[in-house]
């Protein structure tokens, strides 16, 4: 089962909303994944790279991440949210 990390600045509100949207999408499409959330301040390269996918509310240019990273801000705003969810679904299906 794929492991997804959802991160935002404080690891509370934005990441919780993104987790909820992702869980709903996966459930509706018969997909399953382990989803964790965290504060950006609590993460380092090793932590990021222990997941199969990282979904972040912002760009992660200060880290050396060798896993797929999807900017998930659209899950909060509704802008391009379906495209973001489809990207997540592709990674979960791999």
Active site residues: 8
Query: b or e along 61-85 (b: 16 or more beta carbons within 10 Å of the residue's beta carbon)?
Result: eebebeebbbbbbbbbeeeebeebb
């Amino acid at each position: 089962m794929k492991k997804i990390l959802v991160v935002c600045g404080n690891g509370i509100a934005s990441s919780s909303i993104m987790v909820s949207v992702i869980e709903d999408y996966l459930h509706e499409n018969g997909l399953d994944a382990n989803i964790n959330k965290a504060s950006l301040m609590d993460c380092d390269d090793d932590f990021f790279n222990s997941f199969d996918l990282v979904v972040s509310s912002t760009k992660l240019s200060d880290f050396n991440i060798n896993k797929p990273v999807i900017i998930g801000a659209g899950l909060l705003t509704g802008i391009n949210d379906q495209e973001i969810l489809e990207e997540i679904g592709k990674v979960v299906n791999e």
